[in-house]
A = this chain, B = another copy of it.
Amino acid sequence: MKTPFSRILYGGDYNPNQWPREIWAQDMELFKKADINSATVNVFSWAKLQPDENTYDFSELDDIIALLSENGIDIVLATATGAMPAWMAKKYPEVTRVDFEGRRHKFGQRHNHCPNSLVWQKYAAKLAGELAKRYGSNPHVVCWHINNEYNTGCYCENCEKAFRVWLRRKYGTLEAVNAAWNTEFWGHTFYDWDEIVAPNDLSDGMGFGFTRKTAFAGISIDYDRFLSDSLLENYKMERDAIREYDKETPITTNLMGTYKGLDYFKWAKEMDIVSWDNYPAYNTPWSLTAMKHDLMRGLKDAPFMLMEQTPSQQNWQPYNSLKKPGQMRAQSYQTVAHGADTIQFFQLRRSKGACEKFHGAVIAHSGSGDTRVFKECAQLGTELKGLGDELLGAKNPAEVGIIFDWDNYWALEYTSGPNIDLKYVDQIHQYYRYFYERHLPVDMIPIDGDFSRYKVICAPVLYMVKEGVAEALERFVEAGGTLVTGMMSGIVDQSDNVHLGGYPGPLRKMCGIWAEEIDALAPEQSNTLVFGDGSRSKCSLLCDLIRLEGAEVVASYGEDFYKGTPAVTRNSFGSGTVYYVGTQPDSEGLARILDELKVEPLVRDETPLEIDKRVIDGREYWFIINLTGTPQAMPESFKGETDMLTGREVEELSGFDTVIVKR
C-alpha cells in the first residue's frame, strides 16, 4: 500500500474546544511557525456534540474544521466515542463496564463503555454517521480516527450473553465448548449455555491480581478473543457508518504497541492504515520502542502513522522525565525509520486542567513559542517539510521475521506454572534486541504470515501452536529457512490443551528433540550454558531437560543434576535448520547462538548508533540515529556521504543527532 497522504503529516491532537476563541488564533500562528500541517480533532467531544439523547450540535466543530481548513491544516477527524457523555451513564447504567472485580462502574474516566451495550452501540454508530455525513466530503479531512485507544475489560451480564453467542458461533455445540475447555477437570461441565459466566474474580479467578489468571486459561483466552472481537465489532460498526457517506478517506484507530487486550493483527485487517501511540518510559530500552514500531508496521506490512507521542514529558508514568534536547527529534526519526509516514503529538496545546495537565505539548502552559520544546518541534517541522513526500510509502526490507501472536501472549501469561516471571513481551524482546543491536532489520510477523519471505524466523515462546502452524513452519524450514524456537513452545493447542506425546508437541519432529521436563528457576537461581568451545554464559527462568532425537548440541547445561545434557540444539530439517533454545540465555549466550545464523546486517560497523533503511522506487534512505545522548563517530560505511537534513557531510553525530543518507 502506498501511503494515503500527500505529505508527512506533522501535528497532533488538538482540543480548541477546551480554550476560548482568542487562543485559536494564537494557535494558528504558532502552528505556522512550527510547520505543523495536521491536527487531530474531536477526540473527546461526544458530550459537546450530543448534549442529550435527541440533540446534535456541530456548531463548534464546524468552526474548528473551518479554521483548520482555512489554514491549510490536514484534519484527522475523530469520532469522539472514546468517552461517553454523562447523561448516557446516568440514564442507561448498562453502558458502563463491570470490572474484573465484579463491580459495575458509574460515570467517569474514558474508554469505559461496555462493548456489548446496545444503547452505547446505537448512539456511537449514529454519531459516527452524522460526522461522516457532515464532514466526509471536506478535502481537508484526510483521515478518520475512530474512538480512541480501544481497550478491554467488561464482565457484565450483557457481555456474558454475547459471549455465549460468540461461543456458539465458534464451537457450534456445548459439547465442543466442554471439550475445548477441558471442563471435565474440576467438574466444570456445562449442560446449558446459560451456565457459562465471564471469567473474573467472582468466578474462576485465582487471586493473582492484575495477571487475571483463572483456573481455566482456556476460558480466559476465549474471553479475551471475545472482548477483542467485541470492540472490533464496535470499530467496524463506526467504520461502516462512516463508509455510508465517505467511501474514500482512510479510516484508522490509534493502537498501543504491545497492548495485551486486543489482537491487533486481526484488527489491522479492518483498518485502512495502522496508527499508534508511542509512550516509552524514562527507562524503556530503545530496542523495545523499535520493536513496537516494527510490530505496528508488521500489522499490515505497511507504513503506519505515529498518531501520538509527547514532545517533552508524560504525566501518568511514576517518573515523567523530560526528553533531553534532540531526543524527541531522534525518536521521531527512529519512528520514521521504522516505517512511519506521520509524526503527530499528543498534544498541540497543553491542557489547563484534569489529569493530563502535566502531559507535555508543543505549546506549553506559558503559551509561548519561546520555549526549548516548541523550538525543537519547529525545527523538526521544518525538516520534515524539507523531506517532502519522497519517503512516503517506503518499505523496510528484512530477512528476519519474529512471530508475535496475541493468542500466545494471552495463553502464556494465563498459564499456571511453571514460572510466574514468564512474560511474553519480555521474551520476544530478548530476541529482537539481538538483531537491533547488530543493525539487522526485523519484521514482526503474525503466526499466519508469509514465512517464505524470510531467511530466518524466530518464534520464541511459541507456546500455543494452532492448527496449521507447525505445518507452515515445517514447509518454511524444508525449503531452506532457519527457525529459532525454544522453551515453552509447542505446548498447547488453540484452546490451551496440551499437545500430547511430548514437548514441543507438533514442533518436536522438526526440532529433533524431546523436552522431557521443564525446570523452573527462582530469581536467585541460575544455570550455565556451556558451548562447544568451552565458553560459558548464564541462563535462567526455565531449563528444558532435552533428549536428542536427531538434533545436535549447541550448548549444554553446566550445573544441577542435568549438567551435561543439551540446553540448546540445532537440527537439520529438509534444506533448513531449526534451533531450539531450551532456556533463557543471558544476552551473551543468546548472541553466541544467534551469531550462527549468519544473517547479513545492514552495515558491519560496530557502533551504538541505530541504523535503519527504507526503500522506495529504487531509492534507499539510510537513517543513522544517535540515541545514546553522547557523541558518536559516523560509521565507516557512511563516511563522506551527505546528510539529507543538513546537506552536510557529518564526521560525528552529537548526542541525539540523526543523519539521513539517500542512496
Contact = CB atoms under 8 A, between A and B. Distances in A.
Interface of A: 15, 17-18, 44-48, 51-52, 80, 83-87, 89-90, 101-110, 181-192, 194-197, 199, 201-206, 213-218, 282-283, 312-322, 324-325, 350-359, 364-368, 371-373, 415-421, 492, 495-503, 514, 516-523, 545, 560-561
A183 to B, nearest CB: 8
28 contacts: A47-B189, A48-B189, A85-B187, A86-B188, A87-B192, A90-B194, A103-B201, A103-B202, A105-B202, A107-B195, A108-B197, A108-B199, A108-B202, A108-B215, A109-B186, A185-B353, A313-B519, A313-B520, A319-B420, A319-B520, A321-B521, A355-B416, A357-B492, A358-B415, A358-B417, A364-B502, A364-B516, A371-B516
Given A319-B522, A366-B516, A359 B417 contact: yes
B501 A365 contact: yes
Given A106-B203, A186-B354, 7 more contacts: A18-B182, A103-B202, A108-B199, A319-B521, A352-B498, A358-B416, A359-B417
Contacts of A320: 417-419, 520
A43 to B, nearest CB: 9
Q: Across the A-B interface, give the 8 residue pairs with the lowest CB-CB distance, nearest first.
A: A182-B353, A108-B203, A315-B417, A358-B417, A366-B502, A108-B204, A86-B195, A47-B187
A187 B520 contact: no
Nearest to A321: B520
A378 to B, nearest CB: 16
A59 to B, nearest CB: 15
A322 B80 CA distance: 53
Contacts of A418: 313, 315, 319-320, 358
A373 B516 CA distance: 10
B417 A314 contact: yes
A56 to B, nearest CB: 14
A353 B519 CA distance: 19
* Most central of A15, A190, A561 by chain B CB within 10 Å: A561
A375 to B, nearest CB: 11
Nearest to A89: B195
* Most central of A90, A324, A373 by chain B CB within 10 Å: A90
Contact of A355 (B202, B216, B367, B495): B216
A177 to B, nearest CB: 12
Main secondary structure of the interface of A (DSSP, over half): loop
A356 B186 CA distance: 10
A173 to B, nearest CB: 15
Contacts of A191: 47, 51-52, 85-87
Contacts of A185: 15, 18, 44, 351, 353-354, 356
A316 B417 contact: yes
A660 to B, nearest CB: 24
Contacts of A188: 47, 83, 86, 354
Contacts of A187: 44-48, 80, 83-85, 110
* Most central of A110, A182, A357, A371 by chain B CB within 10 Å: A357
Contacts of A103: 101-102, 201-202
A522 to B, nearest CB: 4
A521 B313 CA distance: 12
B182 A351 contact: yes
Nearest to A91: B195
B514 A366 contact: yes
A563 B159 CA distance: 55
Nearest to A104: B202
A629 to B, nearest CB: 9
B352 A497 contact: yes
* Most central of A44, A85, A181, A352 by chain B CB within 10 Å: A352
A101 B187 CA distance: 26
A501 B202 contact: no
* Most central of A45, A48, A191 by chain B CB within 10 Å: A191
A418 to B, nearest CB: 4
Contacts of A420: 318-319
A497 B52 contact: no
A51 to B, nearest CB: 6
A500 to B, nearest CB: 6
A351 B496 CA distance: 12
A17 B182 CA distance: 11
Given A184-B18, A415-B358, A517-B312, A500 B102 contact: no
Nearest to A560: B324
Contact of A203 (B105, B216, B367, B519): B105
A579 to B, nearest CB: 22
B109 A203 contact: yes
A366 to B, nearest CB: 4
* Most central of A418, A501, A519 by chain B CB within 10 Å: A418
B218 A365 contact: no
